[in-house]
Amino acid sequence: WVSIMSGIKGRKCKKIVILLTVSQDNLLFFICRSSREDTCPLSMARLLKKSSTMSPQSAESQSQLCSPRVNIMFMKTHKTASSTILNVLFRFGEKHKLKFAFPDGRNDFFYPSPFLCSQVKDYRPGECFNIVCNHMRFDHQEVSKLLPLDAVYVTILRDPVDLFESSFHYYHRAVPLTWRLSGENKLEEFLNNPQAFYSPEAYNSFYLKNLLFFDFGLDNNLEADDPRVMRDIHNLSKHFHLVLIAEYFEESLILLKDLLCWSIDDILYFKLNARRSSSVSRLNPEMKAKALQWNGADWRLYQHFNATFWARVEAYGRERMKREVNQLRRRNAEMKAVCIEGGEAVGAQKIEDGRFRPWQPVGESSILGYNLKKDTDPKFKTICEKMVTPEIEYLSNLGVSLWLTRLWGWLKDTIY
């Protein structure tokens, strides 16, 4: 796979110019045909056609071997433990010198705008990438232009009640309609009368209703019984090879390892971007029911892919899964003993090295991070540092300009 990756690096298609004096409909048709030429899959098809010298027998025998998959689309959803998955992908891609499709000037692809290839840093039509993994509003047709046809599409979901609670805590100060919430328990006040503090057209309102549906580029204002909800869910299932479940994070990583043909060391992790427990609102059964009703489309999405997830676990084998999870826990515990001062995450104000201090929500410092041991064995120092590095810092280390993100961070911290 290394030789294949060196072959696609820097590939791009020839530009096609068409001069026509025909009707508007025909012109549009020819422009669409022209743009199809400028995609990674077509570039790869031409490359493979030129370089293919392998006999049918040898191609068949090679396909039976398990080789690490390197072409990956990770649809990073909000408040789903996706930052921890991102760190795993950053480390794997950096280790193997893979090519990331990164945003330019910020840490997301101009979210909440729908994803466009032109949002990728230094994008050239027809160029191929290995990994796409930053926040975006998903558009499969656009994303597929960046990756070879063998790319693996993965995403992660979370129970909509917990996701809504987390999203409300993290983003509600960025949603002006919620500024009118005056009670002690703003989340409960919102759920008792959500329509009073929500409008589909209002600024940043998408953070507070069916956020998963919105992230996937779907209509987050559909009611759960709208037939378009299940239609959209079935369409999504055609695009994603694996949907992880945050509540079963270790099992999810084992399935991911199996799908990608990676090693156990490739999926080691420390939990990133987690909140201190005292900031989490405990919803009673009545409030949970209201949160589910308000996020009904997300609930149907979660139910569907939770069922497919456990079908995958059954196919993998329960006993085999148990053994693999135990091995992952042992290796994570070993790395924590080697790397982490005190063995646990700490509040942002207690993090000594600014490189490891995570981004905080507006007006709060509730996101935890880590201190590294000062006497870490030199042979583990680099991997320890990478495993605790938050997303923003890691992106900078990988050469991404984040001037817009850092400007917003400065304004946020200055104003609040």
Which long-range contacts does 309-312 make (Cβ < 8 Å, 24+ apart)? 309/243, 309/244, 309/245, 309/248, 309/252, 309/255, 312/242, 312/255
pLDDT of residue 415: 67
The percent of the chain in helix, strand and coil, each rounded to the nearest 5, is: 55, 5, 40
pLDDT of residue 184: 87
Backbone angles phi, psi at 246, to 5 degrees: -60, -35
Fold of 72-415: Rossmann fold (3.40.50)
Please list the residues that pair with 157 across neighbouring strands.
245
pLDDT of residue 33: 37
Q: Which of 285-294, 383-392, 395-404 has the lowest mean pLDDT?
A: 395-404
Among the listed residues 133, 182, 125, 170, the one whose alpha carbon sits nearest the alpha carbon of residue 153: 133
The strand pair at 100-101 and 152-157 is best described as unpaired
Mean pLDDT of 86-96: 98
The model's pTM is: 0.87
pLDDT of residue 2: 37
C-alpha angle 400-363-178 in degrees, rounded to nearest 5: 105
Percent of the chain clearing pLDDT 70 (strictly above): 86
How many CB atoms neighbour CB 164 within 10 A? 30
Give whole-number Cα distances, 255 to 245, 258, 263, 335, in Å: 11, 5, 12, 21
Evaluate whether 133 touches 98 at the Cβ level (below 8 Å). Answer: no
pLDDT interval class at 408 (50, 70, 90): confident
Q: Where exactly are the structural domains of the chain?
A: 72-415
205 vs 12, residue with greater confidence = 205
321's enclosing H/E stretch is helix 318-339
